[in-house]
Amino acid sequence: MARGFAELVATDLTHVNALVTVDRLRIQTLLREQELAQSGLIDPASAPRMGKLLGAGKLIGGSMSSAGDQLLISGSLIDLVSEQGSRSVPAERELQEFFRLQKEFVFSVIDSLGIELTKAERDAIGTYPTTSYAAFLAYCRGLEYRQQGFFKSAESEFQRAAELDGGFLQARQELQSTQDLIVGATLPDVSPRALTAAATELLGAGTAAGLEAGLSNLANTSGVVPQPQTDPDNGNSNADNKPVVSGYGSATVTGGFDGQ
């Protein structure tokens, strides 16, 4: 349940406009490399280095334990600039109040950051993604399986969660992303030479030497790279606007970084 709890917390924090959240895949990868994935509360001694690697200013950690029908949640908020941390007062609730406890944890984190929420933000955070414990537990198992690389098992659990609660949006999103991973994992290997030849043909560059120009042109016309556009009324540029993604694809490229 702890993994699912963390996912819900991270999702809720994305509703706060004053925060820029770090991609969770980067966090999980770094935690594994630092052997901190199972350490409970983030170690303050390791936090500053982790923050620099992640490009984060603050880090939220927590731990969950259970005794019978009781759940105990405690958390910490570490400022990676001042290298100072604060811990929340552990909260204990019955299992049936799990979802309420998760929301209380999120709001306590936001209060610790000194952020004043708008009504829209508070309403978005206060919405329960699901109230079905069976659906949530299937969702948690799916996250665990996927983390371990068991994509088919993860797909089955996310599918079960979505069936148990048709309104469980996160479960449907994770189901789709896991199915994309399964498709990507079954694609044949592609050598750098074959990839270059295919891209050259696709772009109509004619030769590999013209590939760079072709890629640049494709990037500039596809919306991947936002182009400056001047508003005739005020001269403002929208070059910083986020690109619009029109589709996704997967490929496995084999070979060394030296191009061999």
Contact 95, 69 (CB under 8 A): yes
For the entire predicted model, the pTM comes to 0.61
Q: What is the DSSP letter of 97?
A: G
Find the mean pLDDT for residues 215-230. Answer: 54
Residue 168 has pLDDT above 80, yes or no: yes
pLDDT at position 40 = 44
CA distance 101 to 75: 12
| Mean residue pLDDT across the chain | 74
Rounded to whole angstroms, how far apart are CA atoms 165 and 171?
Answer: 9
**Does the pLDDT value for residue 243 go beyond 70?**
no
pLDDT of 38 above 60:
no
- The pLDDT score that the predictor gives to residue 65 is 83
* CA-derived radius of gyration, the chain: 22
d(C-alpha 217, C-alpha 143), whole Å: 39
Q: What DSSP state is assigned to residue 88? A: P
Q: Which of 90-104, 180-194, 223-237 has the highest mean pLDDT?
A: 90-104
CA distance 36 to 43: 8
| Mutual angle of helices 47-54 and 24-33, in 10-degree steps | 140
Using an 8 Å Cβ cutoff, are 60 and 77 in contact? yes
The two tokens of residue 31 are 């935690």
Q: How far apart are CA 63 and CA 2, in angstroms?
A: 8
For 133, 153, 154, the CA distances from 140, given in Å and listed in that order, are 10, 12, 9
204 pLDDT more than 90: no
In the predicted structure, residue 120 carries a pLDDT above the cut 80:
yes
pLDDT in tens, 62-107: 788 887 778 888 887 877 776 666 665 455 566 568 888 889 889 9
CB distance 140 to 4 below 8 Å: yes
Share of residues in the chain with pLDDT > 90 (%): 22
Q: Give the percent of the chain with pLDDT over 70.
A: 52
Query: For the residues 240-246, what does the mean pLDDT come to?
Result: 61
- Stronger pLDDT, 251 or 229, i.e. the higher one: 251
Whether pLDDT at 42 is above 70: no
d(CA 224, CA 256): 26
pLDDT in tens, 50-64: 666 667 778 787 788
